[in-house]
Structure 1
């Protein structure tokens, strides 16, 4: 009878350890995300529509924003500025050296 209790206790202890290891791994994955970079699940269309809503050339703005969002998986909040939130988005430039992303 003592052998069965020891076996059950060791199985339960093993399950507890596996659960803790899995939880720790999930925590490390979530904290290793780089700041300023969004997850790849971003809806670029909606984010760029919001970003370009006040633009004088909304179609051009959405096209440029969509290209940048596709490369960076990130669009800064608001209709202008806030580039510090998404460094990749801010770093993209045109051939002329001007900022590519609106």
Structure 2
């Protein structure tokens, strides 16, 4: 009897963990965002800064650049040629301002 209860408990744990893992990794579909000042920049900068080491700083400067340039390059790094205004912005030290 103990063997049956133990094996039933073990099977229950395995099944429940697989359901939890599936529900935690499934992403709900995102609605399309119309280009607009806040929503557009939030989404695009979230994608651009997705792998940044300093997420808050990346989002801050990306948001500033997006508001001024009305565009954000695709991907998490590079591709600045897609948005010349974004590429040409410099900080007070003469370094690129936009991430």
Instruction: State the TM-score bracket (shorter-chain normalisation).
Output: 0.5 to 0.7
Q: Deviations over 1:40-93 (max 9, x none)?
A: 636000100000010000000000000000000000000000011000000000
Find the counterpart in structure 2 of residue 74 from structure 1: 71
How do 1:81-96 residues align onto structure 2 when only pairs under 5 Å count? 81-96=78-93
How do 1:9-88 residues align onto structure 2 when only pairs under 5 Å count? 41=36, 43-88=40-85
Give unmatched runs, 5+ long, in structure 1.
1-39
Find the counterpart in structure 2 of residue 28 from structure 1: none
Counting matched residue pairs gives 64
Give unmatched runs, 5+ long, in structure 2.
1-34
Please give the root-mean-square deviation of Cα atoms over the aligned residues, in Å: 1.6
Higher RCO (CA < 8 A, seq sep 6+) = 1
Structure exhibiting the larger radius of gyration computed from Cα positions:
1
Q: TM-score, structure 2 length as denominator?
A: 0.61
Q: TM-score, structure 1 length as denominator?
A: 0.60
Find the counterpart in structure 2 of residue 29 from structure 1: none
Deviation above 3 Å: which 4+ runs of structure 1? none
Report deviation, 1:96. 0.3
